[in-house]
Chain A
Amino acid sequence: MSTLRSKDPNPPRLPEWIIQRLAWAEDRFSIQENFHEEYTYILETGGRRSADLWYWRQLIRSIFPFVKFSIYWRSVMIKNYLKLLFRSMNKHKGYSFINIAGLTVGLACFILISLWISFEISYDRFHENRDNLYQVIGENLLPNGDLHIFPNTPAALAQALKMERPEIKNVSRSLEWLEFLLGTEEKRFLERVRFVDPAFLQMFAVEFMKGNPKTALSQPHSIILTENIANKHFPDQDALGQEILVGQIGSFLVTGVIKGMPVNSSLRSLCLLPVESLRDMGWDIDKWGGGNYHTYVHLEEEANLEFFKAQIRGIYKKYAPNWEVSKLTLRPITKIHLYDLNGGGPIVFVYVFSGLSIFILLLAMVNFTNLSTARSSLRAKEIGVRKAAGAYRQQLTWQILMESILVALFSGCFAVVIAYLLLPVLNQLTGARIDFNVNGEMALFLTGIVILTGVISGIYPAFILSSMNPVRAIKGAVKPGKNSLLLRKVLIAFQFSLSIFMIIAMFGVNKQLKYLKTKELGYNQGNVVAMGLDQEISGHYRTIQTEFMRNPDILSMTRCSSNMGTKSTTTGGDAVTWEGKPNSIEMPKTHLMRADPEFLATFQIDMLHGRFFSNEFPNDVMESAVINETAMKTMDLKSPVGKRLTVWNQNFRIIGVIKDFHFYSLHDEIQPLIFIHRFAGYSQIFIRVNPQNIPETMSFIQNKTKEIIPGYIPNLRFLDDNLDNIYITEQRMVTGTRYFTFLAIFISCIGLLGLASFSVRQRTKEIAIRKVLGASEGNIVLKLFKETLVCVLAANIVVCPIAYLVLQGWLQNYAYRTTLGIGIFILASLLTVVLAFLSVGWNVLKASLENPVDSLRYE
């Protein structure tokens, strides 16, 4: 024995530690002892080297069986946990319902939002060259110091870039704002088309159904139709090789049919024509300056992006020394959808909605945690017995955690079903078209989230429950600690904070939307029909006007270059000067609108000074200008009528000042506006109709137009519908916050309901004794509701100022905004108090109505 002790076996530390980790608790010691014994034996007979070697080999060979058996025994335990879980869920149905319903709703919401976000992020990622495709954009510093970013570039830029920079693989212009009457002699529609360079087809993922992408655009007067348009005009025949009329440019040969762009494309699905065709309209497509082209570049894989960006401006300067150059830079194609050029864009919604969905999920987790800790006394006996029977604390923690993970997994399954059913609602809400195809990555992510949900909601109860003293637990002497009581109250307050915030946000956003939609615009937008206009229709305008005005239900009609909401030509700075202009005043962003004399009558706007254009003064065309009130103030003119005005080196005489009206969306303040009168260049016809016979009038307009312009079927819309569409983002926000508010309230209230029903049951005797001593039902209800009331009120006090600040911040986006007022805050507070009272009160009332004898009988 003494020899053995002198050669005290000292096995290598690391493998010993690994064995301890791997072996299950029951046999850990024995296994270690065995290793020790054999190690000692080999040490004595064969020396340390072979002993160490043996130890390592034995360990490595053991790892697999150890892991295998561990997993086996874990799964046996999970089976056991499942059985216990089902039993307890069955026993406490209401409680399980609250937990599962809450988590299901939270997870379903999370899944839907994840699907939506992955859809938003997928925009423009279907292009094979997505990582090397860029759009050239310009940056302009406005006089007021703001940066104005715009996508329009001159026509000649693309070719110059290609010539100067070797790192450009391909470059293409794209002109996508022209509309033409497109079709055959029998049937024509006003369609927007896209003019591009042939390289466009190599750069972007344009999927050809017919035709050769290499040659399709090489000849002018060739056109590539989208599948839709091809089917519209050549329903039962092969469109390839057919002739189609494009406005007044003439007849085009169909050289290809392409599939429409996918839903997640920021490039709209349009027919493609070669830019060269524009020459036939008399356009100079090689000019610098101005320009409404988008320029896309495809860079070589190894191109140095920053270096390239720095070169663009220099190239511009070299080719067009006479033109004022704004800063030109690039943005990746994959950012076009998510980020609007001048800040904002769908990315804001991505952040806001993912934040909200995480919060909703948190609410559901809070319910779980709260209910589990509240009910810990109920489980105390089970835990106590398990401990007494020799369960390790770690095993108990694991068990309770496992239960919450299992509950989360159940809820996850339900949530998937619910998300699937609600997907159409989401699509309607967001205007997206999302399919329920969850790929592997997504599935893994969601499973991870579900498990994480289980862990987060179960971790606190698991530690609380497993730390109980078994003796006291079995005796039933365990009272929930002060800490967990406090935590529960804080969590309730947190839940209600979010609900209150959502309610206030919902009211606030709604109020602003209502304000935007009902605000007086300064003109009469009701009963006005809008109709598109291209060069060819313009040519027929006199005939159209004469014919239309014969119909007594058509009160007035006008042409202008704006759609009264989002489209506008702007100028400003040096481009605008006038008689007596002091040097101190420089025009800020100024809108330029072409309109004919009927504009005033059609929109029923009043003049402030002078007169509007008139047919009696033929010189009004080209020579006269009308400005709005804001322009007059900005220019600081006392008597503007008769003054000379120069815009873009053309001279006009101001003949009148029109009262301010909102010709642009209410996001911006009314800006200076200059009207000019021209023969052409209009983009919209507006027709004021009699509200009585609208259907007849509409079909009259349809038929007459088709008569005058053979085959043309106009797409008629009401102006007020168009204007409502401007605020579609706000509309979606209203609907979105409504859903989220409902979810937040639902989850908070069922959680509170569960807690209340439990705490009332625990206090049955207290209630009975109070009753015996003479307390009225009302007294008791109030007494028990007081605790919750304090939480809710505290939440209100904290949240209202925050919500106020957030909403005010949001309203800063609007030049015209509603006042929030104290009303919505009071309403939100009242609503939450009432909801809390309903969730708590019902249980409390039930308990207080009971006969005290029943509750006290068993004492």
Chain B
Amino acid sequence: MKEISKAEEMVLLAIWRLGDKAYGVSIRRQIRKDTGKDYTYGTLYGLLRQMDHKGYIQKIRGEPLPKKGGRSKSYYKLAPGGNRALQDAMELHKRMWKDIDEYSFEES
């Protein structure tokens, strides 16, 4: 299976961490908290839509907003495909970084 990109990995992890509270604002904050990266909504929604299309995540329509004519917010959660993709990513990481520790890159 094709590996997911770093950006996709970050978004997927953020969604996983957020559980059932994952939506635009919270995902963006979560990513910033975890990685320090400041994603724009443009990038974020582009990724979300792409991953929705690939079957990594699922879009869920929430309750309508409590105001006049309020429309419902979209929440995201991991789809089975996303779960597997994260597992694969972790597996890959472990293999790639096997036997390497933080001292390995020190300049001698």
A residues touching B (Cβ–Cβ < 8 Å)? 22-24, 26-27, 29-31, 33-35, 37-38, 58, 61-66, 68-69, 72-73
Within the complex, which residue of A26, A33, A68 is in contact with B73, where a contact is CB–CB below 8 Å?
Answer: A33
Known contacts A24-B49, A27-B49, A73-B49, A33 near B42 by CB under 8 Å: no
Contact A65 B46 (CB under 8 A): yes
Pair B41/A35 contact, Cβ less than 8 Å = yes
How distant is the Cα of A38 from the Cα of B38 in the complex, in angstroms?
14
Interface contact B49-A69, CB-CB below 8 Å: yes
A61-B42, A65-B40 known; A33+B49 contact, CB < 8 A: no
B74 at the interface (CB under 8 A from A): yes
Return 17 A-B CB contacts under 8 Å, by A number: A26-B49, A27-B45, A27-B49, A27-B74, A30-B23, A31-B24, A31-B45, A33-B24, A34-B24, A34-B28, A34-B41, A37-B25, A38-B25, A38-B28, A63-B42, A68-B46, A72-B50
Q: Contacts of B73 on A, CB cut-off 8 Å? A: 30, 33
B20-53 vs A, Cβ < 8 Å mask (1 yes, 0 no): 0001110010000000000011110110111000
In this complex, the member of B28, B42, B46, B49 whose beta carbon has the largest number of chain A beta carbons within 10 angstroms is B42
Contacts A23-B45, A27-B74 given; does A34 touch B40 at CB 8 Å: no
A29 vs B65: C-alpha distance when bound (angstroms): 12
Q: Are B41 and A58 in contact, with the CB atoms below 8 A?
A: yes
Chain B nearest CB from A743 CB (Å) reads 46
A30 pairs with B74, CB closer than 8 A: yes
Whether a CB of chain A sits under 8 angstroms from the CB of B71 is yes
Are B24 and A30 closer than 8 Å at their CB atoms?
yes
Q: How far is the CA of A29 from the CA of B70 in the complex (A)?
A: 10
- Closest 4 CB pairs between A and B? A62-B42, A65-B42, A34-B24, A69-B46
**A64 partner residues in chain B, CB cutoff 8 A:** 42
- Could you say which residues of chain A place their CB within 8 Å of the CB of B28? 34, 38
Contact between chains at A66 and B65 (CB < 8 Å): no
Contacts of B43 in A (CB 8 A): 62, 65
CB pair A62 B41 closer than 8 Å: yes
The smallest beta-carbon distance between A529 and chain B, in angstroms, is 82
Q: Are A62 and B40 in contact (CB under 8 A)?
A: yes
Q: How many residues of B contact A (CB 8 A)?
A: 17
* Minimal beta-carbon separation of B65 from chain A (angstroms): 7
- A779 → chain B, closest Cβ, in Å? 59
| B42 CB contacts on chain A under 8 angstroms | 22, 61-66, 69
Rounded to whole Å, the gap between the CB of A282 and the closest CB of chain B is 87
Contact flags B54-72 to A (C-beta < 8 A → 1, else 0): 0000000000010000010
Chain B residues numbered 62-101 whose CB sits less than 8 Å from any CB in chain A: 65, 71, 73-74
Instruction: Give every chain B residue within 8 A of A34 (Cβ-Cβ).
Output: 23-25, 28, 41
* Chain A neighbourhood of B24, CB < 8 A: 30-31, 33-34, 37
Say what secondary structure dominates the interface of chain B. helix
Q: Which of B40, B46, B71 contacts A58 (CB 8 A)?
A: B40
B65 in contact with A33 (CB, 8 Å): yes
**Given that A27-B45, A33-B73, A69-B46 are contacting pairs, would A61 and B23 also be in contact in the complex, using a CB cutoff of 8 Å?**
no
User: Beyond A34-B24, A34-B28, A69-B50: 4 further Cβ-contacts under 8 Å?
Assistant: A27-B48, A30-B24, A58-B41, A61-B42
Q: In the complex, which residue of chain A has the Cβ closest to the Cβ of B61?
A: A30
Query: Cα distance A31–B23 when bound, in Å?
Result: 10
B50 / chain A contacts, CB cutoff of 8 Å: 69, 72
Docked complex Cα distance between A716 and B34 (Å): 96
| Cβ distance A752 to chain B, nearest Cβ, rounded Å | 45
Cα(A23)–Cα(B40), bound, Å: 13
Closest to A76 in B: B53
Q: Do B40 and A61 touch (CB < 8 A)?
A: yes
| A69 surroundings in chain B (CB, below 8 A) | 42, 45-46, 49-50
Residues of B within 8 A of A33 (CB): 24, 65, 71, 73
Name, among B24, B65, B71, the residue most crowded by chain A CB atoms within 10 Å (CB to CB).
Answer: B24
- Complex CA gap A24/B74 in Å reads 14
CB B44 to nearest CB in A, in angstroms, measures 8
Task: Give the docked Cα–Cα distance between A408 and B93 (Å).
Answer: 50
Give A70 to B41 CA distance when docked, in angstroms.
Answer: 14
A37 CB contacts on chain B under 8 angstroms: 24-25
* Cα(A620)–Cα(B43), bound, Å: 101
Chain B contacts for A23, CB-based, 8 A: 45
Q: Which residue of B lies closest to A66 (CB)?
A: B42
Distance in Å from the Cβ of B33 to the closest Cβ of chain A? 14
B residues within 8 A CB of A66? 42, 46
Are B71 and A29 neighbours in the complex by a CB distance under 8 Å? Answer: yes
Q: Give the chain A neighbours of B49 by CB distance below 8 A.
A: 24, 26-27, 69, 73
Q: Which residue of B lies closest to A37 (CB)?
A: B25
Contact check, B41 vs A31: say whether CB atoms are below 8 A apart.
Answer: yes
- CA A607 to CA B38, docked complex, whole Å: 105
With both chains docked as a complex, state the minimum distance between the C-beta of B73 and any C-beta of chain A, in angstroms: 6
A30 to B28, CA, bound (A): 13
A30 and B50 CA atoms in complex are apart in Å by 16
* B60 CB → nearest A CB, Å: 11
**Chain A residue contacts of B65, Cβ below 8 A:** 33
**Which residues in A have their C-beta under 8 angstroms from that of B40?**
58, 61-62, 65
Shortest CB-to-CB span from A643 to chain B, Å, is: 98
A107 to B45, CA, bound (A): 42
A20 CB to nearest B CB, Å: 13
Nearest B residue to A64, CB-CB: B42
Q: Write out the residue numbers on chain B whose beta carbons fall within 8 Å of the beta carbon of A22.
A: 42
Shortest Cβ gap from A451 to chain B (Å): 27
Contacts of A68 in B (CB 8 A): 46
- Please give, as numbers and ranges, the residues of chain B lying within 8 Å of A61 by CB-CB distance: 40, 42
A44 to chain B, nearest CB (A): 14
- In Å, the complex CA distance between A269 and B83 comes to 80
**CB closest residue in chain A, given B43:** A65
* B-chain residues with CB within 8 Å of residue A58 when the two chains form the complex: 40-41
A324→B42 CA distance, assembly (Å): 80
- B residues less than 8 Å from A24 (CB atoms): 49
> Which partner residue on chain B sits nearest A67 by CB separation?
B42
Min CB distance A228 to B, Å, is: 65
Cα distance A68–B46 in the bound complex, in angstroms: 9
For the complex, give the distance between the alpha carbons of A27 and B49 in Å.
8
Task: List chain B residues, Cβ under 8 A from A38.
Answer: 25, 28
Q: State how many angstroms separate the Cβ of B28 from the closest Cβ of chain A.
A: 8
With both beta carbons as reference points, the residue of chain A lying nearest to B75 in the complex is identified as A30
Q: Within 8 Å CB of B74, what residues of A? A: 27, 30
Q: For B62, give the chain A residue with the smallest CB separation.
A: A30
* Complex: A141 Cα to B78 Cα, angstroms: 91
Across the interface, name the chain B residue whose C-beta is closest to A26: B49
B52 vs chain A, min Cβ distance (A): 9
Q: How far is the CA of A24 from the CA of B71 in the complex (A)?
A: 16
Which chain B residues border A62 with CB–CB below 8 Å?
A: 40-43
> Which residue of B is nearest A27, CB measured?
B45
**Nearest A residue (CB) for B38:** A61
A31 to B46, CA, bound (A): 11
Q: How many whole Å from A128's CB to the nearest CB in chain B?
A: 51
Looking at A34, A38, A58, A61, the one whose CB has the most chain B CB atoms below 10 A away is A34
Give the residue among A24, A30, A31, A66 with the most B Cβ atoms within 10 A: A30
A440 to chain B, nearest CB (A): 33
From residue B42, how far is it (CB to closest CB) to chain A in Å? 3
Q: Once the chains are docked, how many angstroms separate the CA of A64 from the CA of B39?
A: 12
Please give, as numbers and ranges, the residues of chain A lying within 8 Å of B45 by CB-CB distance: 23, 27, 30-31, 69
Q: How far is the CA of A641 from the CA of B33 in the complex (A)?
A: 119
A740 to B50, CA, bound (A): 51
A35, B71: Cα distance in complex, Å: 15
**B residues less than 8 Å from A65 (CB atoms):** 40, 42-43, 46
Query: Measured between C-beta atoms, what is the minimum distance from A781 to chain B in Å?
Result: 55
Residue of B nearest to A63 (CB): B42
How far, in angstroms, from A29 to B42 measured CA to CA in the complex? Answer: 13
Q: How far is the CA of A343 from the CA of B95 in the complex (A)?
A: 85
C-alpha gap A72/B47 in the complex (Å) = 12
Residue from B43, B45, B50 whose CB has the most chain A CB atoms within 10 Å: B45
> Which A residues are CB-close (under 8 A) to B71?
29, 33
Residue on B nearest A23 in the bound complex, by CB: B45
Q: How far is the CA of A31 from the CA of B49 in the complex (A)?
A: 12
